[in-house]
Amino acid sequence: MSCTENDSSPFVVFFLPAVVGCLTILLARRWANSQTSNTSSTAVSRRRKIIKDPLIKRPLPPIACKMVAPGSKKSSGSNKKGNCATEEDSNGCGNGKKVSRPSRAAVAPAPTVSLSETKLIEGPVPPKHIPFPYIPQDGILLFESMTFVFLLVAAGLQFLNLYRTAWWLPHSYTNQAMHFYLIDPHLVAFIVTVVSRRFLLAASLAVLKSFLAPKLMPHATIAARMFILGVVLGVLTWCAYFIMLKYPLVKIFYLCYPVVIYFILFGFQSSPFLELNNSETPPLHCCSHDPQQIRNEVDVLREDFNLRVKKIIFNSVMGAYYTSFIPCCFAQSYLKYDVYASSQQVAFVWAGLCGRYAGQLAAAAYCDVPHRAALHLGRWRLDLGLADSSVEVPSWCPNKFYARNATVRWRGGTFYAIATTAAEPAEPKHTRFYAVFINPSTMLCLLLCMQLSLIILELCLLFSSIAWHNFIAIVILLFINYYTLFKIMRDYLIAWKVYKAENMIQDKNNMAQQQPTN
């Protein structure tokens, strides 16, 4: 049977290129390894010549068995010197006799103590953190532009509810969907200026960052804030003047009412008015072993979280107030409109803004920082069983860490620790902080349920028999609520999985710590 060219074609087409490719890969890897070994061979050979066998030239000094707290360099140095002197006296070095150096077999390995064992003996083991995964968040410009569009659409929908027409009727005297001549342009300019203040600043800073050097950005940011604040206040004053000429003085207080709330919440600071979050760097956590430093960090994080909650509530109320409530206040007295539909619009806009601001300011990546601080802070619980007991209980010390199930007496009560604790007993601020941030997925789950309830309610109203303008309003509001629902659900699912794994690790560490050592 003769071999032809067709018989050898499978080998040539399939197997020969595969063999050549494998050989090429092997040769390339061998060449790369040889290059790497050549570059580091000189340094390694020099180290091996210098440190070939240190036990032949000189004996290793015996290690002291006394445990020293980590970080105390002076005490450890003095102990080493003292130990060396004691060993010389015991070996006869003080008598002028020359001691023969021990051989390799005579040198016994000294007992070593790991750092974790040192911490376990000195105090409770601090909690361990799991690295939180990266979750992409909306940039400042993107978030402010989407919020600005949402507020403009909400204002337009409320004006549609008030000034709609029956333009589809055959004998209608107008072919427009709204009575535009009844809308006050100065009122519209006032509303647009109020809701666009943060968007103008974010757009200005984005333009400045594109062509300015980074070292000039702090001065440019201050100048941009002052300029935008002056422009906004000037336009608002100009619009308010013309509004005062047309309406009674009582309605002017409707425009200035949020100003009173602003000064009550934030004082005379201008940054909350112009920026949602003026700190470019998010708060960070420091794993400290000083109880007082942990309590100070908790106070800083608590104030930052309270400020974020104030911003969420104020900005959501202010957005719904100016875009949905103010048009109803300045409607003409002879205008008949659906009060139920207008009130529903106000509620939906406020709830949508609450979810949107909460998803941006209280995201899962931000909540992880207070969560780590809460793990170090711990919590005390009142022990009613030892309240009237004659058992001697030590008083609480502010400079001491307490392990789980430790019992102290403070302010006439007896408390026991439910975790590794640095908090102050009977302190409501520490108790609330630990309850909120020990598992941030609970708070995210609450936000998710609220956002999901809002969408379900809007869908129920959408499929019911409602007017055409309410149908359009609900459909448009659903778009932004769907996006907020996606962000909150993503944060909740990631946080739930991360903190579930972290709780399992913490439980294992606590069980290992509570096991008796032989």
Cβ(352)–Cβ(480) under 8 Å? yes
* Calculated CA dihedral for residues 172, 173, 178, 182, nearest 10 degrees: -140
* Cβ count near 54 (within 10 Å): 10
Cα(317)–Cα(310) distance, rounded to whole angstroms? 11
Q: Residue 279: what pLDDT?
A: 67
Cα(29)–Cα(38) distance, rounded to whole angstroms? 14
Please choose, from the candidates 357, 350, 349, 353, the residue with its C-alpha nearest in 3D space to the C-alpha of residue 473: 349
97: confidence class by pLDDT, cuts 50, 70, 90: very low
Q: Please report, as a single letter, which amino acid is at residue 192.
A: V
Please choose, from the candidates 100, 106, 126, the residue with its C-alpha nearest in 3D space to the C-alpha of residue 115: 126
Task: State the residue for tokens 């010549």.
Answer: 49
DSSP line for 377-410: H--EEE-STTSS-----PBP-TT--B-TT-EEEE
Averaged pLDDT of the chain: 77
454: confidence class by pLDDT, cuts 50, 70, 90: very high
Name the pTM for this structure: 0.73
Angle at 378 between CA 374 and CA 383, to 5 degrees: 145
337 Cβ neighbours under 8 A, 6+ residues apart? 161, 162, 328, 331
Residue 234 has pLDDT above 90, yes or no: yes
Q: How far is CA 265 from CA 127, 230, 484, in A?
A: 36, 22, 26
Residue 146 has pLDDT above 70, yes or no: yes
Burial class (CB in 10 A: 0-12, 13-18, 19+), 479: exposed
Cβ(161)–Cβ(339) under 8 Å? no
Q: How far is CA 46 from CA 39, 57, 202, 401, in A?
A: 13, 17, 58, 48
pLDDT, tens digit, 9 for 90 and up, residues 2-59 = 444 444 444 444 455 555 555 655 565 565 555 444 444 444 343 343 344 444 444 4
222: confidence class by pLDDT, cuts 50, 70, 90: very high
Cβ(157)–Cβ(467) under 8 Å? no
Q: Residue ranges of the alpha helices (H) in 336-467?
A: 339-361, 364-377, 428-437, 440-462
Average pLDDT over residues 465-479: 84
Please choose, from the candidates 202, 329, 306, 200, the residue with its C-alpha nearest in 3D space to the C-alpha of residue 258: 329
pLDDT greater at residue 8 or residue 322: 322
pLDDT, tens digit, 9 for 90 and up, residues 332-373 = 888 888 888 899 999 999 999 999 999 999 999 999 999 999
Average pLDDT over residues 84-90: 38
230: confidence class by pLDDT, cuts 50, 70, 90: very high
Q: Residue 271: what pLDDT?
A: 87
